[in-house]
Structure 1
Amino acid sequence: MNKVSMLGCAVVMGAALTITGIAQAAPDRAAGKRTHPVVVGHRGSPGQAPEETLASYRDALRDKADVLEGDVQLTSDRQIVLLHDDTLARTTDVEEVYPDRTPWRVGQFTLAEIKRLDAGSWFGSRYAGQRVPTLKELLSVVDRRTGLSLELKSPASSPGVATLLAGELNAAGLTDGATLRSGAYRVQVHSRDQEVLREFHASAPKVQLSYLTGGRMLGDEDLAALAGWTVGVYAHPRVTGAADVRRAHAKGLKVFSDPVDGPAEVSMAANQGYDWVTSNFPATARRILDGRTPFAAANGVVVDSVFPDPGGDDAQPENSEHVVLRNTTSRPIEVSGGYLRDQASNLMKIGPGYVIGPGSLLRVHVGPGTNRPDAYYNGLTAGFLNNTSGDTVSFFGAGHSLIDIHSYIVP
Structure 2
Amino acid sequence: MHTRAVTASITALLGIAALLGIVALLPPGSDARAGGSAGWLTVVAHRGASAYAPENTLASIDKAAALGFRWVENDVQRTRDGRLVVIHDDNLQRTTDVRRVFPDRSPWKVKDFTAAEIARLDAGKWFGRSYAGTRVPTLKQYMREVEHNHEKLLLEIKNPGLYPGIERQTLDLLGKEGWLDRSHLAGRLIVQSFSADSLRIVHRLAPAVRTGFLGTPSVASLHRYADFTDLVNPPYTALSRGYVSAVHAFDGAHGRPLEVFAWTVDDAATAWKVVGYGVDGVITDRPDVVRTALAGF
Taking structure 2 as the reference length, what is the TM-score of the superposition? 0.83
Counterpart check, 1:35 vs 2:33: yes
Counterpart check, 1:288 vs 2:293: yes
Query: Which residue number in structure 2 is paired with residue 205 of structure 1?
Result: 207
> How far apart are residue 222 of structure 1 and its match?
1.3
Task: Give the counterpart of 1:276 among 281, 288, 292.
Answer: 281
Q: Is the 8 A contact 2:98 2:108 kept in 1?
A: yes
Going by fraction, where is strand more abundant, 1 or 2?
1
Query: Which residue number in structure 2 is paired with residue 131 of structure 1?
Result: 135
The 2-side partners of 1:200 and 1:219 are apart by 22
Q: Is the 8 A contact 1:237 1:268 kept in 2?
A: no
Secondary structure of 2:238 counterpart? coil
Query: Which residue number in structure 1 is paired with residue 189 of structure 2?
Result: 187
Counterpart check, 1:101 vs 2:105: yes
How many residues end up aligned between the 2 structures? 267
Q: Is the 8 A contact 1:44 1:68 kept in 2?
A: yes
Distance 1:231 1:129, change over 3 A: same
Q: Is the 8 A contact 2:210 2:229 kept in 1?
A: yes
Secondary structure of 2:19 counterpart? coil
The 2-side partners of 1:179 and 1:169 are apart by 10
Distance 1:193 1:187, change over 3 A: same
Query: Which residue number in structure 2 is paired with residue 257 of structure 1?
Result: 262
What amino acid maps onto 2:132 in structure 1? Answer: A
Runs of 4+ aligned residues of structure 1 deviating over 6 Å after TM superposition are none
> How far apart are residue 24 of structure 1 and its match?
3.8
The 1-side partners of 2:45 and 2:20 are apart by 20
Taking structure 1 as the reference length, what is the TM-score of the superposition? 0.61
Secondary structure of 2:168 counterpart? helix
Task: Give the counterpart of 1:23 among 1, 19, 25.
Answer: 19
Secondary structure of 2:236 counterpart? coil
> How far apart are residue 220 of structure 1 and its match?
2.3
What amino acid maps onto 2:22 in structure 1? Answer: A
Secondary structure of 2:220 counterpart? helix
Structure 1 stretch displaced more, 45-54 or 218-227: 218-227
Counterpart check, 1:110 vs 2:114: yes
Q: Is the 8 A contact 1:53 1:133 kept in 2?
A: yes
The 2-side partners of 1:201 and 1:81 are apart by 22
Secondary structure of 1:197 counterpart? helix
Query: Which residue number in structure 2 is paired with residue 225 of structure 1?
Result: 224
Identity of matched residues, %: 38
Alignment of 1:312-351 (within 5 A): none
Q: Is the 8 A contact 2:31 2:43 kept in 1?
A: no
- Structure 1 residues without counterparts, runs of 5 or longer: 1-16, 293-411
The 1-side partners of 2:31 and 2:66 are apart by 21
Structure 1 stretch displaced more, 198-207 or 158-167: 198-207
The 1-side partners of 2:221 and 2:200 are apart by 16
> How far apart are residue 177 of structure 1 and its match?
6.0
- Structure 2 residues without counterparts, runs of 5 or longer: 1-12, 35-40, 251-256
The 2-side partners of 1:220 and 1:113 are apart by 45
Q: Is the 8 A contact 2:71 2:152 kept in 1?
A: yes
> How far apart are residue 289 of structure 1 and its match?
2.3
The 2-side partners of 1:75 and 1:110 are apart by 5
**Structure number with bigger Rg:** 1
Give per-residue Cα distances to partners, 1:206-255, cap 9 Å, x unaligned. Answer: 11011011xxx432221111112210101133332111111100112100
What amino acid maps onto 2:122 in structure 1? Answer: D
> How far apart are residue 178 of structure 1 and its match?
5.0
Q: Is the 8 A contact 2:189 2:209 kept in 1?
A: yes
Q: Is the 8 A contact 1:44 1:280 kept in 2?
A: yes
Distance 1:284 1:29, change over 3 A: closer
> How far apart are residue 66 of structure 1 and its match?
2.7
The 1-side partners of 2:183 and 2:144 are apart by 19
Distance 1:276 1:87, change over 3 A: same
Distance 1:39 1:171, change over 3 A: same
> How far apart are residue 67 of structure 1 and its match?
1.1
What amino acid maps onto 1:168 in structure 2? Answer: L
RMSD: 2.4
Task: Give the counterpart of 1:171 among 168, 176, 199.
Answer: 176
Q: Is the 8 A contact 2:154 2:191 kept in 1?
A: yes
Q: Is the 8 A contact 1:22 1:271 kept in 2?
A: no
Q: Is the 8 A contact 2:23 2:294 kept in 1?
A: no
What amino acid maps onto 1:188 in structure 2? Answer: I
